[in-house]
Chains A and B, each alone.
Chain A
Amino acid sequence: MTLRVSIDSGGTFTDGILINETGEALAAKVETTPGDLTAGTIECLSKLASRARMPLAQLLSQTATIVHGTTLATNIVATRTGAKLGLITTKGYRDRMTFLHVPKGQLRGDVKEGQGELFNFRMEFPQPLTRRYLMTEVEERLDYKGRVLTPLNEQDVRRVVAYLRQQRVQAIAVGLLFSYLDSGHERRVNEIIKETFPEAYVCLSSAVLPVWGEVTRWSAAMFGAYVGPKVIDYVSRISKLLEDRGFSGELLFMQSNGGVATSDVVCENPASLLVSGPAAGPSMGLALTRKHGLENVVSVDMGGTSFDVGIVADGQINIVQYKLIEGQIYGLPSVDVSAIGAGGGSIAWIDPSGRLQVGPQSAGARPGPACYDAGGQEPTVTDADVVLGYIDPNYFLGGEARLRKDLAEQVIAERIGRPLGLTVLDAAAAIYEVANSKMAGLIQLLFGRRGCDPRDFVLCAAGGAAPVHAARIMQELRIKHLMIPKVAPVYCAFGMLYADLKHNFTRPFFCETAKANPERINQLYAEMESQAIQTLRKEGIAEKDILIEKSMDMRYYGQVRDQAAAVPAGPVTASALQIAVNRFHEQHRRAIGYSDSKYPTVIVRLHLAGVARVRAPQLQEVPVDGGSVSQAVKGRRKAFFRELEDFVDVDVHEGDRLPANTVLDGPCIVEERMTTVVIPPGLKLRVDTYGNYTTTVQER
C-alpha cells in the first residue's frame, strides 16, 4: 500500500495522477462522462494502471489513498438537476430567497463585464434552486438577540412537512430567522421531519453555516439540500465500485475549503464539494514555489474555457466566505480562487464600438477552436496561438490531435483582420495580447483587492493553455519570477495530493472588541476545537497530529463587512486579542488604502480550522547530467515576437529531455506532451531540479 492517486474530474477532462514511494509520477487524462461520472473516474484509474503496467485491481490494492476532486456538485447546480427541494422558513419569509439579492453586475462572474451590463435586463432572472410553491413557512420568531418572540408552532410544522411530502420533495432546507443565535427551533423542525417524513434529506441552516445574515445562511442550506442526495449517491457508488475492485485504502474528497475529507464527512456537508476542483491550485503553487524559498505566489490555471487565479501571500492560502454560484450566494469557506472566461477556447470578437474583445464566450471542447476542424466558426485564443507559431499544429496533445492552421488563419482574417484593417498576423497578435491583458487585468484586480504588489510575487502558471501566455502576463504585471510546473496540464489533480485534511467551524460572536470577554471566546474556541478533533479522529487522525488554526472576522464599528485576522495559537488573552486587532488594522490599510488604529473595532465571528497535514509527495528530481541541451532540440520553427516585429526561427526543445539547471535564451519554445512553453526574447528559461521551468526578470 505505497501508491497515492488523485483523480480530478473537471468539466471537460478527468485528470489522474499516480505517485509511488520514490516520487515517480504518472499522469492520465480521459474525457469526463457527465451521464455517469463513475465511468470516467474508473476509466481514468484504468488508464493510470495501464501506464503503470499493472491490472487495475493490483493498482487499487497497492493504493493507500485516493484523493478525489469532482465537478459533480458544481454540475448539479449549473444544470439544475438537483433534488426536488422544499424550503421551510419563518412565517413571513417564504419569498426571501426569491428576491434579487445580488447586484445584477455581479451575476456574470467574478469580474464584471464592465458598464455594458448597467442597463441591460435582456437576460434571465437568476432563479433560486426551487420553485415558490415548494417554499413554505412556519410560525416562530426569534429577535436579534436570540430571544424567543414566538414559540415554534409544531402543528404548523407538521402541516408543511405533510404538504412537502405530498409534493414528493426529495430534500428540505430549513432556514429560520436568527437561528445562528439559537438553533432550537430548526432542530425541532428536523425532529418532526425525521418522524413524519424520514425519507427526506434535510439541511439545517444553523448546522451548515451558522452566520449572521439570513440570505447567506439559508442559501448554504439550500445548496446543501439541493446537491445532497446526488452527492451521497455518487460517494457511496464510487466507494463501492472501488472496494469491489480491490481498494481498501482511504478515499478522500476535495472540498471547497482546499482541504480533503472522508466520504462520511462529505455526506454530512455535501455543499462543501461545490467549487472544489480549482481549490487545489493555490496549495499546489505554494508547494512548488516553496522549493525555491518563495512564499508569495499567484497561482493561475488556464484551461479551455476559464482562467482561475488564486493569490497566496506569505504562504497563507486565502479563504473567502462569499462567492456567487449561478447567481446564488455561497457562504461556506472556499479557497479564494477567481475566474474569468478566458481560456484557449475563448472567442475573439469585435464589439459595436470597434473594440477587440476576447471571451467570455468559449467555443468549448466542441466545436472548439476553428483549427480543431470540428466546425468551429469563431476565432479563438488557440487559433491565434497556432497562427503565431507558438503551438505546433502537428504536436497538439503530444501529437494525439492535428490542428489545421489554414482554418485558424482564415477565420481570424475574416472575423478580426478585415474589420480592423489588420493582416492575419497582426490580428492574431492582437488577440494574443488582448487575451493576455484581460488575464493580467483579473490578476491586477485581485492584487488590488488584497492590497498586494505583483512585484513581490512569483507567477505559477498552469493548465494546458497558460504556458503559452505566462511570460507575457508576467511582463505586463511586472512580476519578476515565473514558474511553469512540469505538471502544468494536470496541475489541480497533482495539487490534491498536497491537500490536508481540513474542517472549518464557525461561531457568531458579535461584540465590541473592547468589551469582549476572553473567557467566552476561549469557551467557543474550545467547543469548536473538540468538534474538529472529533471529526478528524473519525477520519483516523491521532490527536497529536491535529493542527488548530484560529481566526476572527473583525470590522470597524459601523461597517457591515469584515476582514479575517489570524489569532495567535494558545489561549486567547488580552494581548493575543491585541495582536489580532493590529493585524486587522494593517490588513485594512493594505486592502482599502486607509486604517485608523484608534477607531473602535468589533469582533463578528470566530473561525477555527482543524487540520491534519498529509505527507507531501516526494517530487522526483530531474538528473543534472541527463543529456545535453542540443540533444533535446527537436527542431526549429517560425514564431512571432512583437519585439522583433516579425517571425523568427526558434529552437523547439523536448521538455522531457532537458537536464536540470539547463538555461535557455529566449526566444525559445519547449514542448511538453500536453502543453507548450513560449519564452519571448530577452528572458532566460531555467529548468529546476524537479523539471519545472522558471524565469526571472533581472533588476535593471
Chain B
Amino acid sequence: MANRQAASAAGAVSGVDPTTLSVVWNRLDSILDEVGEKVLHAAQSFVMANIRDLGAVATDPAGRLVAVSGYLPVHLFVAAEVVPTVKAWFNNEFHPGDFIICNDPHIIHGGHLPDWSMVRPVFHKGELFCFLHFKGHQADTGGFLPGGYGPGAYDIIAEGLNIPPLRIIEGGTVRKDLWGLVLRNVRNSTQVDMDVMLVNGALAQAEEQIVNLLDKYGVETVEACMNEMRAAGERATRAAIAKIPDGVYFGESAADWDGTTDKPVWVRVKVTVKGEEITFDFSQSDPQGDFVNSALGCTLTYTMASLFYVIDPSVPKNQGSLAPVHIVAPEGCVCNPKYPATVGASACSVGNIITEACLIAFAKAVPDSVPAGFAKHCCPMNIGRDSRVIDPRTGAASQYYAETFASDGSGGALKGYDGWQGGMTVGFSGNLGRAEIEIFESMVPYRVPRYELLQDWEGAGEFRGGPGVYVEAVADTAPGDPAILMTGNCDGMVIPPYGVAGGGEAPRVEMWIESPDGRKRVLRTYVNEPIFPGEKWYTKVPGGGGWGHPLNRDPKLVRDDVRDELVSVQRARDVYGVLVDPTTFEVDQQATERLRKEMRVRKQ
C-alpha cells in the first residue's frame, strides 16, 4: 500500500517510494563515509592522513555523480570530469575487480599531479552497475621536486609523472609491469604502494556493500533512486538559484604571481543569474601562465563551492546540482590550461582564488549569504632528506615531505557568525585537520618554537574574521642534506581577504627566513627556497575578512576580544569605536556611543 500510493505521489517522479529513496540515499552516503574513514585511518601520505586531503564519490552507470562524502570538496566534484573520461578511455569495458588510477591533467582535467584519481567499477552478478571514485593527495608523484608539486617546472613532464587512465589491477590481479613502472618513478614508493592498495581494499569493501544493497532492493529500484537523487539535486539547486536576484555580477581576485613572471595572475568572473540557471564566465581571466593554472575539473569544483557556500547547505550535491550551472572557460586561460601547461597550484592556491572571485561577485547579489574572505592557503612545505634517519621500508636515508599546517590562517565572517579561528582556506571549508606538532617534529627535522594567534590581524566587522596566525620553525637539518621550503602552496601577499557588507579586509601575508647571524631574507610565495641548518622560517598569515561594519559590532564582543588580547585597546577604539578600560576591561557605554556617532558622521 505504501509503495503504490507513494508512486503516484507528486514528489516521486522516478517511481520510487520516499522511504526506499531515503534508505538507499543514506546508505550510499554512509558507504562513502566509511571509505574516507578507512583511508584516513591507514594512509601514510602526510596530507591524506593528517589533514584529510581525500574524498570519495559514487556515480551512476553513466558516470554521473550521485553521492559524495563529507571530505575535501576538491576531491569530490572533479569526478564529474574524471569518470566519464575513464569510461571513454576503456570503451566502457571493465571487469569485476578492476582498479584504475590516473592523474594526467590534460586528459582527466583533475587537478595537480599528486592528487591521483582512483576508479573502481562496481559489478553486480557479473553486470557493470556503477563506479566508485576516490581521489587523494599521494605521498609522491615523481617529477623534478619531491611531491610533484613545485614552481619552476619546465613543463608538465618535468612537474611529475603523468598517468593516463591506467588499469593497474585487472580482474583482481595487480599488473606488476604497469604498477612497477609507476612505482619506479615516484619517491617513497613503498608508501605510495600501500596507500594505493589500501584504497582499492576500501573500495572493494564498499563494492560489497553496494552489492548487498542491490540484492536487497533490486537493480531497478536502486537505479531509480539514483535518478531521483540527481533529480532532487537539480530541483533543489534550481530553486536555490531562483532565489538569487537575476542580474550580471562581476568578481575578481588574483594569485600573487605564477613563480615565473612577476605579476599577479587574475581570475575574473562574470556571474549571470537568470531564473533558475547560472553562468560563470571566466573569459576575461588572464591567459595561462606557469604552475598556478587550474585544470577544468578543478575550476568546476571551486566554482560549485562558491555556489554551495551561498545557497541552502542541505541542497544535495551531485550531478543534478551541476545541471543548471554553466561554466565558460576558454581553452588557454588560467582556468582551463592547454598542454603542456603545469598545474602544481591548481587546487590549493588558484582554486581558492576562483571561489573568492565568484564569492566577491555573489556579495553584490546576496551579501547576507556570502562569507567574507578566508586566509589563503599558506604554509611552507618542508622537503628534503635526513641522512641521520634510515627508513626501514627502503633501507635508505629518510625522504620527507610535510608541512605543519600550523601557518594557515582563519576563516572569514558570515552574517551572524565570526570567522572560525584556524579555519584555514575557503576551499578547505574547515574540513581539514591540523597536524599535531609533536608528530610533525618527530617525522621532520624541524622544530616549531611558536604557533600563535596574532593580535589585530583580523578583518574587522560587525562579525569579525578569525584572528591571524604567527608561526616560527627552525631547521634542525644536517649540513649537506638537501632542505627546501616549497611555497607553491602559499598565497596572499598581493590580495588580502576581502570584507563583505562594510566589513574590513584582513592584512596580507608576510614570510621570511632568518639566518643564525640575524640576516633576514623575504620568503616569497611560489618559490623553492633552500634553507640551511639553524635557519628559521617565519609566517604571518591573516585572519579572515569581516562582515558588516565594525561600528555595529556588539561592544560586549569587542570587550571580550580585548580581554582575550585578540584586539588591542587602541584598535577597539579606532576601528570598532569601543572604549575599553585596559585594566578593568569595562566598556564606557556613553563615551562609546558618542564616539561611534562621530565616526559614523566622519565616514559619511
Contact = CB atoms under 8 A, between A and B. Distances in A.
Contacts of A122: 313, 414, 416-417
A104 B194 contact: no
A591 B40 CA distance: 12
Interface in A569-601: 588-589, 591-594, 596, 599-600
Contacts of A444: 27, 30, 209
Contacts of B6: 420-422, 426, 430
Interface stretch (B78-86, B334-342, B445-453): B445-453
A121 B417 contact: yes
Contact of A449 (B34, B422, B441, B442): B34
A147 B449 CA distance: 15
Interface of B: 1-2, 5-6, 8-12, 17-19, 21-23, 25-27, 29-31, 33-34, 37-44, 49-50, 52, 68-71, 73, 76, 190-191, 194, 197-198, 200-205, 209, 212, 232-233, 235-236, 239-240, 305, 308-309, 312-317, 371, 391-393, 411, 414, 416-418, 420-424, 429-434, 436-439, 441-442, 447-453, 466, 472, 560, 563-566
Interface in A260-319: none
Interface in A74-115: 91-96, 98-105, 111-112, 114-115
Contact of A118 (B11, B235, B308): B308
A144 B438 contact: yes
Contact of B19 (A212, A429, A449, A589): A429
Contact of A216 (B203, B429, B436): B436
Contacts of B18: 354-356, 420, 422, 430
Category for how many chain A residues contact B: 35 or more
Given A429-B2, A430-B2, 7 more contacts: A105-B71, A125-B420, A133-B563, A353-B316, A422-B6, A514-B392, A559-B43
A132 B417 CA distance: 19
Given A100-B420, A101-B433, A600-B392, A559 B49 contact: yes
23 contacts: A100-B420, A101-B422, A103-B431, A104-B420, A104-B429, A121-B429, A131-B560, A149-B447, A178-B438, A213-B439, A352-B315, A354-B18, A421-B12, A422-B2, A426-B6, A449-B37, A510-B442, A557-B391, A558-B191, A592-B38, A592-B39, A594-B42, A600-B393
Interface in A415-438: 419-423, 426, 429-430, 433-434, 437-438
B436 A448 contact: no
Nearest to A423: B5
Contact of A131 (B5, B309, B564): B564
Contacts of A445: 30, 33-34
B418 A125 contact: yes
A115 B391 CA distance: 38
Interface centre among A144, A216, A558 (most CB of B within 10 A): A558
Contacts of A96: 437, 451
A351 interface: yes
A630 B181 CA distance: 75
B5 A592 contact: no
A126 B564 CA distance: 16
A589 B197 CA distance: 11
A124 B417 contact: yes
Given A95-B453, A101-B422, A143-B441, A114 B70 contact: yes
A356 B421 contact: no
Interface string A110-148: 011011111111111100000111000000010110000
A646 interface: yes
A101 B430 CA distance: 9
A271 B240 CA distance: 46
A214 interface: yes
A591 B38 CA distance: 7
B200 A594 contact: yes
A512 B392 contact: yes
A355 B565 contact: no
B41 A121 contact: no
Contacts of B239: 352
Nearest to B445: A144
Interface of A: 91-96, 98-105, 111-112, 114-125, 131-133, 141, 143-144, 149, 177-178, 212-216, 351-357, 419-423, 426, 429-430, 433-434, 437-438, 441-442, 444-445, 448-449, 478, 510, 512, 514, 556-561, 588-589, 591-594, 596, 599-600, 642, 645-646
Given A114-B29, A121-B417, A133-B564, A104 B430 contact: yes
Top 8 A-B pairs ranked by shortest CB distance?
A: A593-B201, A421-B9, A594-B201, A99-B422, A92-B450, A104-B430, A558-B44, A120-B313
Contacts of A144: 438, 441-442
B292 to A, nearest CB: 23
Contacts of A478: 212
A111 B29 CA distance: 11
Contact of B308 (A98, A101, A119, A178): A119
Contacts of A94: 452
Nearest to B48: A560
Contacts of B560: 131
A317 B9 CA distance: 47
Given A143-B441, A430-B18, A593 B33 contact: no
A653 B185 CA distance: 71
Contact of B50 (A100, A177, A560): A560
A352 B1 CA distance: 26
Nearest to B70: A105
A449 to B, nearest CB: 6
A410 B536 CA distance: 69
Nearest to A358: B22
Contact of B566 (A115, A132, A215, A357): A132
Contact of A448 (B43, B209, B312): B209
Nearest to A112: B70
Contacts of A442: 30
B315 A353 contact: yes
B148 to A, nearest CB: 18
A21 B8 CA distance: 62
A177 B422 contact: no
Contacts of B424: 100
A437 B21 contact: no
A421 B37 contact: no
A485 to B, nearest CB: 27
A592 B10 CA distance: 42
Contact of A353 (B29, B314, B393, B422): B314
Contact of B198 (A98, A437, A593): A593
Nearest to A178: B438
A524 to B, nearest CB: 19
Contact of B436 (A124, A215, A441): A215
A656 B305 CA distance: 58
Given A144-B442, A433-B19, A100 B421 contact: yes
